[in-house]
């Protein structure tokens, strides 16, 4: 068969290409990791005197030279992926060394450990650093716009004002928490070298403390063994890692959705960067679409639909059944899409334009009806027995008369009784509700500051 | 970047390779289909006198020579996939022809129509023929084993006998129904050529009946337009097609699960074929695992998890939003995995061994307790006022005494009163419950026959 | 335990109460249906001479008098729901009648048939009539607003105009198609009376043609038997029915989403009805939230998440396993939420206000940039070799200069060359792009008309 | 409308009734919690001097006397659930007190805080204690059966032996880890009292440090505020709690599946308890089905399908949209089903019978082929250059000749050369592979011991 980028079926393989992702999550790399564990196993057996150094050196060399092509060709013959890998190593060593390749291990010792390793290394090298960069982008944005008043929107309707920076600070807080936890979850991924049913049967034939050997092999890669394994490691650590990853990407999609809507033609507070050569539509020359924010949501869908796979794969009959083999080969897609979402959103946020004039325009567009809450709160605090309903009636009147709420307020005799008892500050907010932002600015700054420190600490680890 | 099979991330692109699937569902092929529609559009404009034949010929030639590499390179520049494709065509024609490339169309006219076409062609060329082959494999099996008695199992517990062929006939019936419907759903996929918001705005500037042009273009590929489209065709026809595909693969997974369990070491009624060179485990040389049946279930999971994607993608804001772009590039994976499941199960069923001796062993293993139902039914039909409870007590006694149910029956004074009133046939079934198979054999044959005819008719279409 | 509406946990049981839904889908009704089938079975046995008329009359009377309380109390004792039901009937008849209750049936004969029946009756009595009412509401809306120009929005950005009625016609077309298919799927639901493993073992002990008896019993309720059953009917007909139901509710959610967004404070083309006493927020008196449209989307989520349940439940080991029991008791929730969505959307659409002035405001708000497409199309049709790029540049200039696109067009020397060659109609559309609606009006009317006829036909069935 | 247990639609409300669950998760209780927070808010305002003690006392009394019926009746009128609750309180107090009810709060301050509280209290009072009881049941089982040899099964095929206790210890380890984390996640649930868009706008009108008031109110219930909130608390803490809950229930379903299969008629190592009056089938009197284990899996499905709901609900437009309202009313179902699964499995495990004789029967049933791995390992350790393939050939021969593997081994000349070099222990394992259990016994005991201590610590908290 001919192989090019374009004979592929998954967009991960023909379109959303990223050297870092491919360098860590491709099949080629996975085979390399598996060979690393075969070598480490041999080394542990050598340390225990089960083979000579010469024999070990042969195996070591072989583990460095086996290629994916060889492994797949041998699998064609024997119908078993790890046995094929083992046979390829064996084919490159002397008869004296052959018996010791893979000795005491079951296939999943290699597969599960290599999987844990590749998820750790991808996270540490790419995913977490990109998450931190995205977080810092948001922190900077929150700091810069901490005091930029923006109308709050609930149910798509103007509510009361807050600030753009406070809104962004919400994402800083949520994403920051996820990053800390993704980092923690990565450290809890587990390998195993406990044999076909988890009780070290084979190794126990040849040595006193097979659990010590398991710990040693994994230690080389900063991994620990699961407390208990069957043929496979327990699935929960990986599920926790992927769930936290999904939460992170869900937060990104939530932000991307907000940005998309803020970029609507009628709102225009935000605009995605648009290159001088960029085309928005093949037929409508004026189009400037928020395609990066949309793509983030698209990547999120790819990530989150795989949650069902994980939840179904949690169940495996007895010491394991094989209905999860296919699944496990697709888990890297979760991480690949998560990284793509992170990078895309980071770039989109770094280049998006925020238009202050439009914020003001929208704040002022509702004929002052956003003063309804402060007016009600002030009236109530002054003892008005039915302030909420009173103000609700005023807003209905303003609506019916298509006039400013403030003008209705000023002419209402009931309100008149309370007006004089208000403080200047209170009256001012009813008149100019765009100053009604509570603690938004100070909280935005405080949150940004806290997470900047945490990110620095995480980086320093 | 270097591209090999093994630098890929999706197992569809490094492992589960199939020339037919790649030939129909790769990105390369998709671009080819899109170019076909650009050509057809040009031809329709030419027929309406909007361009000369010479101009049309230029465009036609260009549509045959644009390559994926060119399109992707141009997309790098303009950031829009279809505009890139259009620009590539334009680059190969004279200034006189340039204006007419893609004229009146929006990107989704091309994308949606090309998508419909590729799902139709893949189904007609590969998926449905493979489904029919699988169905015929099952039909043959049902015919061959229509009378092979097998213990029925509910809740994993021996129930009453039926036949292996009758069990298989159930899958014949269910899968047959799906095949007929997959075929019908494929015919209901729709294209569109109605422009940026579906109301043919652009085309209506240049011609009287833009809806007629839409029909003509699609007719070339035996497609019809959707009754209504926005920028995109309504998603439901594709969702129905994929849902029916999922049902078919779900039926396969159900059968594969049954076969897996029938292959259990303790049951052994079925055994998956095992090659002379095949290895079952990298450490346990005796293993013969039902990996094909397991893989079918694995492929099923890949298919069915994408249902959530489809259900979420059904919603698109206003005339369309772009949060479904990524998704749509991944839909071919559904069909790819469905075809893989079909071929795998077909092969597994054609080569699996059925061991009659083990069927008999299992039927006889329960100390005759499977006679409980016929005994209860006969007693009740003879007027025993509490036959079910009576027999339940007898089975508890047989269990406690660890003896054959029949021996308990024959020594019970209450039963004795009814025994003489039974027909010979009834007594025989209580004694030898493995003949208690009802209409299993005749129904298995009748169902097989009906579906053989339907498959022949489908083939002849 | 104390039982009130408010001691319940599911919002279907304390909040979203609907007499029709409860009257059809409650546990009480389900038990009634099961008793109906026990009676019908007895009648079929009586017709075959297996019991006297007097005995049948006893059973018939008992089937009419058993209560849910009795059944649940007996289940406490025997731990089996259908055996409990059977025992309750038996307790109300003479010893002579006792043996014939439930004779030849297995529990799932009763359960599956009663389930099919309740889904059919709920659909025919409530769901489909409500769907038709919703469809007619949309048809009327499409007819009324067929010519009301509205800006088309793709990616949340102004695209080109269409009409509100054309947009609604899209939902008419999609929902109409679903209604026809829901109706068809309902007719394909199947019952069964083929015993413990589907091969009529028990019945075949007592009669010649047990399949005929099965047909007769089901025929009473206008049901047919599945071609093949194990202990259970094949799951696919129910899955098809629920999938089509999900598609219908998905279409509703898509429309509800559009309406929500059209009701945004910045867009205001649509407003959900708001009662004179209604409160929008407990603290912001001015709020008028589109809560009905939001609720429709909320109900949709409840419907669509259950698709995974159905897809997992499709697999049942051998002649059945019992891991789907709990699931099956929850399926009525799908239909209940679907009906709630339908009624909610119908009411919301019937009372929502459409504000023509806001449509015009939005159409005119983009400084005429929506003329970009017609200008490009006209220029290209006149032979401009690079019309799309030309117009793209003009829109960028208009943007940069913050002026009307039309004023930029009129002062561009390149365009000037083509301006005179345009028809009056073409020039007019560039000047007044809100007339650029293609075939929107006529198509909206035609689609509405077609579906009005189809709904009338469906009603007449 | 008439309300009884049987007019309900959800099985949680008519069937799976549990006084504890209803006492914590019913609508009645939720309203009670919401009233508690209204009272606490009033108290905090009183402490700040915003109302007199007399006024506070009125509000306190009213919060204790409002009923669900009153709230729902008022909601009928005003169409807003929290405003209805507020109006009910206001209706019971003097005009002087009316203004201070709910003052500064938005609805979600009450709803989100009450939700956090009910999930905390249900977990602390029921869910976690039940989890601990289940864990201790498993610990006892693992201790009791630490040395009971059982054949390990991978791919449904006999692999090599381990012990039943070691298998159970795996569940001890996995579930124990989940319990610790469920407990931690519960403590991370957050409330809020920061008003309509999260920036304490209203409260800031009346006091200096609104964030301090928020902390105080929540502190009364041992809750903390989220670091940042919009109108709603960030969804992630609840998602983490529910995900960990799902993992726990997934582990239960995995164990239940294993137990179901071990109870198969052909395996019989385990049997679910069966009451003397219990009926297994309405027509097959001998049936003893593992319905509790099946039910656990059924409950698991109900839990895990709701993960999609949570993942979709993570996204909420701007400061919130209302498409998650319906969802949030259904989240208690997750916890209800999780508790049901826990209790069901606990009971099933406490009463299930383990049959030692059947373990031995199955271990010996494979003609000694499970000695293949130890033989291969020993041969390889002795330098046999192709031990795996050699033993694979021997197992194929034993299979073909239908004889014991050991008899083939003893007559093979190649093996003969190594036989004398084996230790007695090694030879013994090849002869009697049921002793080939590695470190299973000691590990089972060690794991059980560790988790017993952890559970005691958790209990002591």
- Mark yes or no for CB contact C305/D301 under 8 Å: no
> A70 and A143 share a domain?
no
Nearest CA in chain C to B380: C99
Note whether residue D441 is domain-resident. no
Give the domain CATH number at B350: 1.20.200.10
pLDDT digit string, tens, across residues B31-64: 999 999 999 999 999 999 999 999 999 999 999 9
d(CA C119, CA C245): 12
Give the domain CATH number at C426: 1.10.40
Give the domain CATH number at C38: 1.10.275.10
The answer to whether A225 and A215 have CB atoms below 8 angstroms apart is yes
Nearest CA in chain A to C368: A286
pLDDT digit string, tens, across residues A115-159: 999 999 999 999 999 999 999 999 999 999 999 999 999 999 999
Coil, strand, or helix at residue B191?
Answer: strand
The mean per-residue pLDDT over the stretch D192-201 comes to 98
Tokens of B101: 């490339």
How many contacts, defined by CB atoms under 8 Å, are there between A and C?
138
Alpha helices, H only, A231-318: 236-262, 291-304, 307-313
For residues B373, B379, B384, B390, the Cα torsion angle rounded to the nearest 10 degrees is: -40
The mean per-residue pLDDT over the stretch A320-329 comes to 96
Choosing among A2, A5, A9, A335, which should be mutated to test the B contact, i.e. which has the most B CBs within 10 A? A9
Neighbours of chain B (3+ CB pairs under 8 A): A, C, D
Note whether residue D370 is domain-resident. yes
d(CA D87, CA D80): 10
DSSP sequence for B219-287 = HTTT-EE-SS-SSS--SHHHHHHHHHHHHHHHHHHHHHHHHHHHTSTTT-SEE----TT--S-SS-TT-
d(CA A56, CA A99): 11
> B255 and B119 share a domain?
yes
- Mark yes or no for CB contact C78/D278 under 8 Å: yes
Note whether residue A155 is domain-resident. yes
- For D159, which of B266, B284, B365 is closest by C-beta distance? B284
Torsion sign over Cα A251, A255, A258, A264: negative
- Mark yes or no for CB contact B333/A281 under 8 Å: no
- Mark yes or no for CB contact D234/A173 under 8 Å: yes
The mean per-residue pLDDT over the stretch D46-61 comes to 97
User: Which stretches of chain B drop beneath a pLDDT of 70?
Assistant: none
> Which range marks the domain in which residue B152 is found?
108-200+214-362
Tokens of D397: 């021969």
> A281 and A370 share a domain?
no
- The answer, yes or no, to whether residue D247 has pLDDT greater than 80, is yes
- The answer, yes or no, to whether residue A1 has pLDDT greater than 80, is no
Note whether residue D460 is domain-resident. no
Paired with C17 in beta bridges are: none
- Mark yes or no for CB contact C281/A370 under 8 Å: no
> D352 and D378 share a domain?
no
d(CA D282, CA B373): 10
pLDDT for res D2: 85
Choosing among D83, D197, D385, which should be mutated to test the A contact, i.e. which has the most A CBs within 10 A? D197
pLDDT for res C278: 92
Q: Which helix (H) or strand (E) holds B155?
A: none
Nearest CA in chain C to A294: C155
- Which of A334, A362, A390 finishes a domain? A362
Note whether residue B440 is domain-resident. no
The number of domains in chain C is 3
> A339 and A383 share a domain?
no
Q: CA nearest D388: which of A103, A319, B306? A: A103
Neighbours of chain A (3+ CB pairs under 8 A): B, C, D
- For C318, which of B50, B153, B316 is closest by C-beta distance? B153
HSE-up of residue A439 (Cα within 13 Å, Cβ side): 24
Tokens of A253: 């999609």
> C120 and C192 share a domain?
yes
pLDDT for res C269: 98
Least confident piece of the model among A267-271, B367-371, C447-451: B367-371
> A64 and A160 share a domain?
no
> How many residues are present in chain C?
461
> B69 and B11 share a domain?
yes
> D189 and D45 share a domain?
no
pLDDT digit string, tens, across residues C244-271: 999 999 999 999 999 999 999 999 999 9
- For D309, which of C260, C305, C332 is closest by C-beta distance? C305
d(CA B346, CA B352): 10
pLDDT digit string, tens, across residues D382-411: 999 999 999 999 999 999 999 999 999 999
Q: CA nearest B10: which of A333, A81, A337, A336? A: A333
d(CA D169, CA A11): 42
Contacts of A306 in chain C (CB under 8 A): none
> Using the 8-state DSSP alphabet, how is residue C370 labeled?
G
Asked whether the ipTM of the predicted complex exceeds the cut of 0.95, the reply is yes
The answer to whether B97 and B73 have CB atoms below 8 angstroms apart is no
φ, ψ of residue D16 in degrees (nearest 5): -85, 65
The answer to whether C108 and C81 have CB atoms below 8 angstroms apart is no
Other C-beta atoms lying within 10 Å of the C-beta of residue B35: 22
Other C-beta atoms lying within 10 Å of the C-beta of residue C453: 9
Nearest CA in chain D to A227: D173
- For A261, which of D250, D317, D383 is closest by C-beta distance? D317
- Mark yes or no for CB contact D250/A304 under 8 Å: no
Contacts of C100 in chain B (CB under 8 A): 380
- For A285, which of C261, C308, C391 is closest by C-beta distance? C391
The mean per-residue pLDDT over the stretch C126-144 comes to 98
Tokens of A416: 């008149």
φ, ψ of residue B167 in degrees (nearest 5): -60, -50
The percent of residues above 70 in pLDDT, for chain C, comes to 100
- The answer, yes or no, to whether residue C461 has pLDDT greater than 90, is no
- Give the burial class of C308: count Cβ atoms within 10 A of its Cβ; 0-12 exposed, 13-18 middle, 19 or more buried: buried
Note whether residue C55 is domain-resident. yes
Note whether residue C143 is domain-resident. yes
Contacts of D28 in chain C (CB under 8 A): 4, 6-7
d(CA D396, CA B193): 63
Tokens of C419: 């301006």
- Mark yes or no for CB contact A394/C285 under 8 Å: yes
> A31 and A120 share a domain?
no
> C345 and C422 share a domain?
no
- Mark yes or no for CB contact A266/C266 under 8 Å: yes
- Mark yes or no for CB contact D323/C302 under 8 Å: no
HSE-up of residue D51 (Cα within 13 Å, Cβ side): 29
- The answer, yes or no, to whether residue C404 has pLDDT greater than 80, is yes
> A154 and A286 share a domain?
yes
- Which of A70, A103, A136 finishes a domain? A103
Give the largest Cα separation in chain A, rounded. Answer: 104
pLDDT for res D133: 98
- Mark yes or no for CB contact C286/A160 under 8 Å: no
Contacts of C41 in chain D (CB under 8 A): none
Q: For D350-449, where are the E strands, in sequence order?
A: 353-354
pLDDT digit string, tens, across residues C337-385: 999 999 999 999 999 999 999 999 999 998 889 999 999 999 999 999 9
Note whether residue D456 is domain-resident. no
The model's pTM is 0.98
pLDDT for res A2: 85
- Mark yes or no for CB contact D199/A438 under 8 Å: yes
The answer to whether A282 and B102 have CB atoms below 8 angstroms apart is yes
d(CA A198, CA A195): 5
- Mark yes or no for CB contact A254/D152 under 8 Å: no
- Mark yes or no for CB contact B265/D291 under 8 Å: no
Contacts of D199 in chain A (CB under 8 A): 162-163, 166, 437-440, 443
- For D107, which of C25, C281, C332 is closest by C-beta distance? C281
- Mark yes or no for CB contact C98/B200 under 8 Å: no
Give the largest Cα separation in chain D, rounded. Answer: 104
- Mark yes or no for CB contact C297/D323 under 8 Å: yes
D314 pLDDT band, cuts 50/70/90, is very high
- Which of C315, C346, C362 finishes a domain? C362
Contacts of A10 in chain B (CB under 8 A): 8-10, 12-13, 330, 333
d(CA C303, CA C363): 36
pLDDT for res B461: 81
Choosing among B273, B282, B344, which should be mutated to test the A contact, i.e. which has the most A CBs within 10 A? B282
Dihedral class, residue D318 (left if φ above 0, else alpha if ψ from -120 to 50, else beta): left
d(CA D179, CA D238): 16
């Amino acid at each position: 068969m001919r192989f090019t980028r374009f004979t592929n079926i998954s967009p991960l393989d023909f379109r959303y290409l990223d050297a870092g992702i491919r360098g860590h999550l491709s099949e080629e790399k996975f085979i390399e990791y598996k060979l690393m564990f075969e070598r480490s196993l041999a080394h542990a057996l050598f340390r225990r005197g089960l083979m000579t150094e010469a024999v070990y050196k042969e195996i070591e060399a072989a583990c460095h030279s086996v290629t994916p092509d060889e492994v797949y060709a041998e699998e064609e013959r024997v119908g078993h992926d790890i046995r094929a890998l083992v046979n390829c190593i064996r084919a490159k060593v002397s008869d004296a060394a052959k018996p010791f390749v893979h000795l005491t291990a079951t296939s999943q010792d290699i597969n599960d450990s290599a999987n844990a390793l590749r998820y750790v290394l991808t996270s540490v090298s790419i995913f977490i650093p990109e998450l931190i960069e995205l977080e810092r982008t948001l922190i900077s944005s929150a700091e810069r716009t901490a005091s930029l008043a923006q109308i709050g929107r609930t149910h798509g309707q103007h509510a009361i004002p807050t600030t753009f920076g406070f809104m962004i600070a919400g994402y800083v807080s949520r994403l920051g928490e996820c990053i800390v936890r993704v980092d923690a979850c990565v450290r809890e991924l587990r390998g195993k070298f406990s044999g076909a049913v988890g009780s070290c049967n084979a190794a126990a034939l040849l040595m006193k403390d097979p659990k010590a050997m398991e710990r040693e092999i994994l230690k080389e890669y900063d991994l620990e063994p699961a407390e208990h394994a069957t043929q496979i490691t327990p699935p929960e650590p990986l599920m926790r890692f992927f769930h936290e990853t999904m939460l992170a990407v869900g937060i990104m999609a939530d932000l991307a959705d907000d940005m998309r809507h803020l970029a609507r033609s009628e709102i225009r507070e935000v605009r995605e960067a648009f290159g001088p050569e960029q085309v928005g539509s093949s037929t409508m020359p004026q189009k400037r679409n928020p395609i990066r924010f949309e793509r983030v949501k698209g990547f999120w869908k790819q990530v989150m639909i795989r949650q069902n796979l994980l939840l179904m794969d949690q169940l495996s009959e007895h010491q394991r059944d094989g209905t999860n083999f296919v699944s496990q080969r697709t888990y890297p897609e979760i991480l690949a899409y998560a990284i793509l979402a992170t990078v895309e959103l980071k770039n989109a946020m770094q280049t998006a334009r925020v238009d202050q004039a439009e914020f003001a325009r929208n704040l002022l567009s509702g004929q002052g009806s956003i003063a309804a809450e402060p007016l009600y709160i002030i009236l109530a605090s002054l003892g008005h027995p039915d302030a909420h309903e009173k103000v609700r009636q005023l807003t209905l009147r303003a609506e019916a008369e298509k006039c400013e709420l403030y003008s209705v307020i000023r002419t209402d005799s009931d309100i008149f009784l309370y007006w004089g008892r208000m403080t200047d500050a209170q009256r001012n907010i009813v008149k100019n509700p765009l100053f009604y932002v509570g603690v938004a600015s100070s909280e935005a700054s405080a949150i940004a500051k806290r997470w900047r420190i945490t990110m620095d600490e995480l980086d320093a680890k």
